[in-house]
Structure 1
Amino acid sequence: MAVILLVAANSPSERYFEIAKNLDIFATLFKEVNALYVDEVDPGKLMRTGMDAMLASLDPYTNYISEDEVENFRTVNTGQYGGIGAVTRQIGKRTVVTMIMEGFAAQRGGLKIGDEVLKIDQVELARVTSEEAGALMKGQLGTAVSLTIKRPGESEPITLSFKREKIKVNNVPHFAMLNEETGYIQLTDFTPDAGKEVKNALVSLKEKGAKKLVLDLRGNPGGLLMEAVNICNLFIPKGKLVVSTKGKMPDHNFSYETLNAPIDTEIPLVVLIDRGSASASEIVAGTLQDYDRAVVVGEKSYGKGLVQISRPLSYKAQLKVTTAKYYTPSGRCIQVLDYSRRREDGSVSSVPDSLKKSFKTTKGRVVYDGGGIDPDLLTVNQTYHPIIQVLFESGYLFDYATSFTAKRSAPTDIKSFQLTDADYNAFVQWMKDKPYDYTTNLDEDLHRIKEQAKREKNYDDIKVMLEKIESTVNEKRKNDLLVYKDQIKQALEADILSRYFLEKGYVEAGFKYDEELAKSIELLAKTDSYNKILMNN
């Protein structure tokens, strides 16, 4: 009898009644609040707050997208928009050009990194938000747009005119030969044509003599699942399972196999991942790991094993909703947080180690689910001091790079460029009258000790000691520009080289400082070590 009652309570008619009842309650509640609340309320804003809170209780990836936000949502998913091919950011009250995309209107029309945009058409950017400025830059293909800019070294503003065109943000912003035998492909997104771009880069590198390859997925947040399948297909045979999805509804259960002949199933391959590698990146890394087709190097990945689709709503709005979990060929789901089992305070816990299951790769290596992709070769990513962030956000690195490049011609090549001690000392001198501040972990620890001492009524006993420590810390901070010289130089060189070589300069400037990349090159050079990892010996 208990079983019969349980089934009846969960019957479709009972469920539909619950939905209708709660929708009616919500509608009447909203009507009464709107009519009776002491202050005027914005109905649209109030409703949006309710919808966002409702969806946030499910997971962070299920979102309502209003009509006003649909265009940005489409841009993120397709990597395409109507514009001129310039990237800008806000530094204080200035809107500055930070990157020029090769081959587009901005480059052809003479816009440069370092230019400050004063007006877009006749709209002064000082009077609008950064979001509004971004919207002004974009528009219908073929339409004209003029930028009034302030260029360092020029006494008067300059007006440049452009025609908007279709801008496609590359999934592969850069690929190159690292040495005579090793190729490198940086993949930063999984928008349409990601697989095609990786294929073209791979073919080009092989033509240049690449016999080994590094595929860099660090910081790649993912994107289209099918593009992950296409990329795996370049390295594993046709007809192999890449990923399967399982959801509540049977029509969301799919198995995705490789559909085409591969490009190269033998080339030694390292896949670089970090904590920012998520979703489709984890499918690629996990699948190639499951088939023992690549050695995964870096940090444990993010752990997003959820699949979303978008559905149209009324008034041209959309819903992005999680419909399934995905599983790598060995059967593991790498989702790290269980949103279906929240704590009483609403927080979400990771899958405990005791509940993680083991699986085996093709050659019998043990891998685990429930927490991202574990690299075969674990590395510790470089930790940057807070001074780097504040120098970036304040625009000091950017402005110094602008003044530095204005006085010097381009270096002959990227690899040979390096700031000399004299160059760096000039930067330190330039910074002498610049205000900046930042908080370190030590500052936060001292603050916590001070507050705890006050609560426990013994602050007066240790006050002199704490003040002495704080004074010492503040005095040492004056030397941070010298103490963290190597990290600051790295950031400065990247900014400087981007002025001369655009995206290529920015990426390759970091190669000589990249420890994970160096370990990947070293591993690929040692065939026995590479094979030993894949054979689990």
Structure 2
Amino acid sequence: MKKRLVFISGTAAVVALAFVLFAFNKEPQDNAFEIAKNLQIFTTLYKEVNSYYVDELNPSKTMRTSIDAMMKSLDPYTVFISEDEIEDYRTRTTGEYGGIGATIGTRNNKVLVIMPHEDTPAKRAGLKIGDEILQINEVKVNAKNYNDVSKLLKGQPGTEVELIIKRYGATQTEKVKIKRERIKINHLPYYDIFEGNIGYVQLTEFTAGAAHSIQKAVEELKNKGAKSIILDLRGNPGGLLHEAINLANLFIPKDVDVVSTKGKIAEWNKTYKTLKMPLDMAIPLVVLINGNSASASEIVAGVIQDYDRGVLVGQRSFGKGLVQSTRLLAYNCQAKITVAKYYTPSGRCIQAIDYSQKDKDGKAGKIPDSLRRAFKTRAGRTVYDGAGLEPDIVLEKEELSPIAQNLIAKNLLFEYANEYVLKNPQPNVKSAKDFVLSDADYQNFVAWVKNKDYAYTTDLEKNFQNLVETAKKEKVYDNLQSDFNLLKSKIAKNKEADLTTFKNEIRELLEMEICTRYFYEKGQVEARFDDDKELAEAIKILKEPKRYQEILKKK
């Protein structure tokens, strides 16, 4: 069905808008004239540009550009959602969609299967990581139209989709028919028992049912002998507010504050309390967070910290203390608008960036330390607002070496994992926890990768080049040229040795990629455990009850 763009006169638009403004009384009346005036200016400008611009314009595209620019000037979370984008938005909030159940991505200008998820049509049809998708039904696909691939794979449950794929290392293509199903994104990819009695649960998103999934996992772990719990919220970007409230309710009493929201519209301000009896108020608890733990993750972690209910371990969280509300618009469109800030039970707002104050380039800055305020947890520990959550035990974030970053960016680890599994179709271990890449296997990788393009620039090389340019600018380069040449040679030799210098780091990354091929999502998680310093620290704390209590009581 063709979409029509309806033009109305500037005057009619202003009258209609003014009626809406005064009828709902959501804007101060002294702003109504300014809004109406500027809308009239915009309407007449839009018509004039569309009518007289030298080249033919796409009215919808031009309008979308202006809408996106307006939203971008506010904050990253206030966005316009067109009718075409509603389904994707619904998928992100509910975690459900009609499709085949596979994560698709681009690598080296190819559309590849990145992960066929457990118990989905994609997995049952035999799709594997690294399979290249060449055609979906009658449509040939490539990296340039990647955004359309997801739409082609999605559809009504029960309908069939036909793929033409090429396996990694194969010369012939294959035809695969898959019947779509209602797919539920797995927000709980892993939970298990460590060290005999420590339960571990990883939550990746706060989609519908997240709290219930955590409850079932914790109950199962307790039945298996868990005497303490690690809740891993690292990299969790958040999601539904009520799921955060329900999750916090598992560990804190009924009828206590979880989060308060405060915005411009006073009648929307609300304090959310726990509504149910908790699952367990006594079990020792550690929550893992990092710089990508945001929004609902920070609400849960903040509640646990404010009530001294558990210990936070990791790095400072992202700092998203803003609440969005979805508003319905004309023509089945929606707008997700920031309507309030949220506050943890101690009264702090953890929002780290002040979008109301921007520099001349339109860039918002972090809230300065001088404006951050101190608050108290229930036991009297001091916590601060304005910069995310600071863990009770702060561990330095480990940065990857330049060569490791480059091998990831150029998809060489991804490709070699496919190569390895092609030559070794079956794993020699039963679990990813036990998989180790031997020295001989690593040397095979080194020999393989040296024939690939993995050129990169180290920080040392950048600093060296800056030094050379400074020497030339100050006209002393000629006197120091021999020294510079010697230093350049030594830097080059060090760089050549990077595959050996950073062997342990690169091998860990390779093991994770290979385990993902053998054990899929579970293997991806388990392969990280032997080098997970935050997890090791959490286990250490829970094995030392005295230290655990001291952390929670420390003023």
- After TM superposition, the score normalised by the length of structure 2 is 0.91
| Amino acid corresponding to residue 305 of structure 2 in structure 1 | Q
Q: Which residue of 1 aligns with 2:375?
A: 359
Superposed displacement of residue 276, structure 1: 0.6
- Would the aligned equivalents of 1:239 and 1:258 in 2 still touch at CA under 8 Å? yes
2:96 to 49, 74, 80: 80
> CA separation in 2, counterparts of 1:94 and 1:192?
33
Tell me what 1:7 maps to.
none
RMSD, aligned α-carbons: 2.0
1:493 has 2:516 as partner:
no
Q: CA deviation at 1:394?
A: 2.4
Distance 2:480 2:96 in 1: 60
**Pair 1:109 & 2:156 matched:** no
Name the structure 2 match of 1:198: 214
Counterpart for residue 517 of structure 1: 535
The 1:335–1:11 alpha-carbon spacing in structure 2 relative to 1, beyond 3 Å, is closer
Alpha-carbon distance in 1 for matches of 2:485, 2:326 = 56
Tell me whether 1:417 sits opposite 2:432 in the alignment.
no
In the alignment, is the contact (CA less than 8 A) between 1:217 and 1:277 conserved in 2? yes
Matched with 2:251 is 235
Q: How does 1:437-452 map to 2 (within 5 A)?
A: 437-450=455-468
Does the CA-based 8 Å contact 1:351-1:371 persist in structure 2?
yes
The residue correspondences of 1:129-528 to structure 2 (distance < 5 A) are: 129-152=145-168, 154-408=170-424, 409-410=426-427, 411-450=429-468, 465-466=483-484, 468-528=486-546
SS at match of 2:419: helix
Secondary structure class of the residue paired with 1:381: coil
User: Aligned partners of 1:11, 1:245: CA distance in 2, in Å?
Assistant: 19
- Following superposition, the deviation at residue 452 of structure 1 comes to 5.2
Q: Distance in 2 between matches of 1:461 and 1:531?
A: 64
Q: After superposition, give the CA deviation of every residue in 1:210-238 in whole Å (9 maximum; x if it has no partner).
A: 11111111111111111110110111111
- Matched residue SS, 1:442: helix
The answer as to whether partners of 1:190 and 1:280 remain within 8 angstroms in 2 is yes
Distance 1:32 1:258, change over 3 A: same
Query: Given that residues 109 and 143 in structure 2 are in contact (C-alpha distance below 8 angstroms), is that contact kept between their aligned partners in structure 1?
Result: no
Alpha-carbon distance in structure 1 between the residues aligned to 2:469 and 2:237: 39
Say how many residue pairs are matched.
528
Partner Cα distance (2:81, 2:477) in 1:
51
Deviation at 1:496, TM superposition (A): 1.0
SS in 1 for 2:433: coil
Tell me which residue corresponds to 1:67.
83
Separation in 2, partners of 1:216, 1:11: 42
Equivalent residue of 1:148, what SS?
A: strand
SS at match of 1:90: strand
Partner Cα separation in structure 1 for residue 482 and residue 218 of structure 2: 63
Q: SS of the residue aligned with 2:201? A: strand
Aligned mates of 2:221, 2:496 — CA distance in 1: 47
Separation (CA, whole Å) in 2 of partners of 1:157 and 1:263: 52
Unaligned regions of 5+ residues in structure 2, if any? 1-25
1:381, 1:516 within 8 Å by CA — same for their partners in 2? Answer: no
The residue type paired with residue 157 of structure 2 is L
Letter matched to residue 495 of structure 1:
E
Q: Distance in 1 between matches of 2:482 and 2:91?
A: 57
Q: Please state how far the C-alpha of 1:429 moved relative to its aligned partner.
A: 1.1
The letter for the 1-side match of 2:128 is K
**Contact map agreement 2:116 2:122 (CA 8 A) in 1:** yes
Show the counterpart of 2:4: none
For residue 544 of structure 2, what is the amino acid of its counterpart?
Answer: K
Amino acid at match of 2:501: V
Counterpart Cα distance in 2 of 1:259 and 1:224: 17
- Give CA deviations for 1:333-363 in whole Å, capped at 9, x if unaligned: 0011111122333222222222111111111
Cα offset, 1:457, TM superposition: 6.1
- C-alpha contact (below 8 Å) 1:308/1:321 kept by paired residues: yes
Deviation at 1:188, TM superposition (A): 0.8
* Matching residue's letter, 1:291: Y
Work out the percentage of aligned pairs sharing the same amino acid.
50
TM-score, structure 1 normalization: 0.94
How far off its partner does 1:152 sit?
A: 3.5
Task: Out of 439-448 and 305-314, give the one that drifted further.
Answer: 439-448
2:43 is the counterpart of 1:33: no
What amino acid sits opposite 2:33 in the alignment?
F
Give 1:286 shift: 0.5
In 1, Cα distance between equivalents of 2:312 and 2:388: 12
Q: Secondary structure at the match of 1:129?
A: helix
Structure 2 contact 110–143 (Cα < 8 Å) conserved = no
Q: Secondary structure at the match of 2:32?
A: helix
Specify whether residues 505 and 490 from structure 1 end up closer, same or farther in structure 2 by C-alpha distance, changes over 3 A only.
same
1:235–1:264: 8 Å Cα contact kept in structure 2? yes
CA offset digits 1:413-451 (Å, max 9, x no partner): 222211111111111111121112223333333444455
Alignment CA distance shift 1:65-1:449 (3 Å): farther
Separation in structure 2 between the aligned mates of residue 264 and residue 182 of structure 1, nearest angstrom: 15
Question: Match for residue 66 of structure 2?
Answer: 50
CA shift at 1:371, angstroms? 0.7
Name whichever of 440-449 and 202-211 sits farther off. 440-449
* 1:149, distance to aligned residue in structure 2 (A): 1.6
1:85-132 Cα deviation digits (max 9, x unpaired): 111221112222221211111111121223222221232223851111
Relative to structure 1, the CA distance from residue 157 to residue 294 in structure 2 (aligned partners, 3 Å threshold; closer, same or farther) is same
Q: Is the 8 A contact 2:133 2:141 kept in 1?
A: yes
Distance 1:123 1:301, change over 3 A: same
Label 1:463 to 1:146 Cα distance change in 2 as closer, same or farther (>3 A).
farther
Shift in CA distance, 434/257, structure 1 to aligned 2, threshold 3 Å? same
1:91–1:393 CA contact under 8 A, matched in 2: no
Which whole-Å CA distance do the structure 1 matches of 2:119 and 2:252 have between them? 33
For the structure 1 residues 269 and 116, does the alpha-carbon distance in structure 2 shift closer, same or farther, using more than 3 Å as the test?
same
- Does the 8 Å contact 1:199/1:234 carry over to 2? yes
CA distance in 2, matches of 1:423, 1:326: 51
